[in-house]
């Protein structure tokens, strides 16, 4: 992911608008992922659960859930990156699927566990509309500085 954010110069609402604008013609748009909230150490996004993200038996596909987790964690790293322009790369994703879901929305909240200059660690909880945990992910991202 490539974003050029400086959170001290942009309001959170403007960051959300920019995040959601930058998803055109990507997997993020295909999965209808929407960024909904930014905090000082977290980012929240949601994804609809429908036929587009179902397994053949009608439940949310784990790969779609993993894509949601990596998306929100990488975007959070971009927002909280230390320094100027940077490219964020997810280098490891681990996810446990704990409960199935067939309809509604899932919400992914990436919380910073470590925000180093070059490496970041994120815990990403994926919940349903009632706050019940669906999946739990851990994402490690790498920040590469660009000119």
pLDDT digits (tens, 9 = 90+) for 18-46: 999 999 999 999 999 999 999 888 999 99
Sign for the pseudo-dihedral over CA of 46, 10, 92, 115: negative
- 59-94 pLDDT, tens digit per residue, is 999 999 999 999 999 999 988 766 567 889 999 999
Domain boundaries, the chain: 2-145
- 96-115 pLDDT, tens digit per residue, is 999 999 999 999 999 999 98
Average pLDDT, the chain: 90
Taken as a whole, the chain contains a residue count of 147
Catalytic residue list contains 37: no
Tell which CATH classification among 2.60.40.420, 3.10.129.10, 3.30.70.20, 3.40.50.300 matches the domain 2-145. Answer: 3.10.129.10
Higher pLDDT, 77 or 1: 77
Give the predicted TM-score (pTM) of the model: 0.91
Euclidean distance between CA atoms 97 and 103, whole angstroms: 16
Is pLDDT at 17 greater than 80 in this prediction?
yes
Active-site option among 29, 34, 70, 92 = 70
Radius of gyration of the chain (CA): 15
């Amino acid at each position: 992911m490539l974003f050029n954010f400086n959170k001290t110069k942009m309001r959170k609402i403007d960051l959300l608008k920019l995040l959601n604008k930058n998803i055109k013609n990507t997997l993020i748009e295909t999965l209808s992922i929407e960024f909904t909230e930014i905090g000082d150490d977290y980012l929240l996004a949601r994804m609809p659960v429908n036929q587009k993200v179902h397994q053949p038996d009608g439940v949310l596909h784990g790969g779609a859930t993993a894509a949601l987790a990596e998306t929100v964690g990488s975007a959070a790293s971009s927002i909280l990156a230390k320094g100027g322009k940077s490219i964020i790369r997810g280098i490891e994703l681990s996810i446990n699927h704990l409960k199935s879901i067939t309809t509604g929305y899932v919400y992914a909240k990436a919380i910073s566990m470590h925000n180093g200059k070059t490496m970041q660690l994120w815990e990403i909880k994926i919940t349903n509309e009632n706050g019940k945990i669906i999946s739990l992910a851990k994402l490690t991202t790498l920040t590469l500085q660009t000119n």
